[in-house]
Amino acid sequence: MAAVPDFQLEKVILAREHARNDAWQRKNREALDALLDADFIEINVLGRFVKKEVLGVLFNAVTLHAITVEKPQLITLGENAVVLTYRCRETITMGGEQQEIPANVTSVYAKRDAQWKLLLWQITPLIRSGKVG
């Protein structure tokens, strides 16, 4: 497979990120599993989770209703690693309570066998004056 030109790399990575979000919204565990690297880690307000915990416990505990991708920026770390950062508004139901959370997301992708896999996904809520939002 030929290398993706830099100007197209952001499109490829954004498509992977949107696919991740879509898999969560549709509760499609198999689609999410296919996007994640074997060493995947997610960090969110509930803690740090490895792939097995995300696909098992977290996937059942959280319902994603919507998430935006605003002002994405891509940082290339080399031929086989990139970092995508963006702001978002995430609407989720967790513990029976629906919430809309403004946050920053950092996604790290690694190229594995000519495919970009999500290695790390971290969401950090924006906090202003002691409140989220």
Answer whether residue 66 is part of any domain.
yes
The SS3 call for residue 5 is coil
Answer whether residue 117 is part of any domain.
yes
Answer whether residue 17 is part of any domain.
yes
Rounded mean pLDDT of 92-107? 94
The tens digit of pLDDT for each residue in 7-58 reads 689 999 999 999 999 999 999 999 999 999 999 999 998 899 999 999 999 9
Q: Residue 20: what residue type?
A: R
The overall average pLDDT reported for the chain is 91
Rounded mean pLDDT of 71-100? 94
Domain that holds residue 124: 6-132
Answer whether residue 1 is part of any domain.
no
Rounded mean pLDDT of 98-104? 94
CATH number where 45 lies: 3.10.450.50
Rounded mean pLDDT of 85-92? 96
pLDDT at 130: 54
pLDDT exceeds cutoff 90 at 3: no
- Number of domains present in the structure of the chain: 1
State in Å, rounded, how far the first CA of the chain is from the last one.
43
Query: pLDDT band for position 127 (50/70/90)?
Result: confident
Answer whether residue 64 is part of any domain.
yes
- Strand locations in the chain, DSSP E? 36-44, 47-50, 62-67, 70-78, 81-94, 97-112, 115-125, 127-128, 131-132
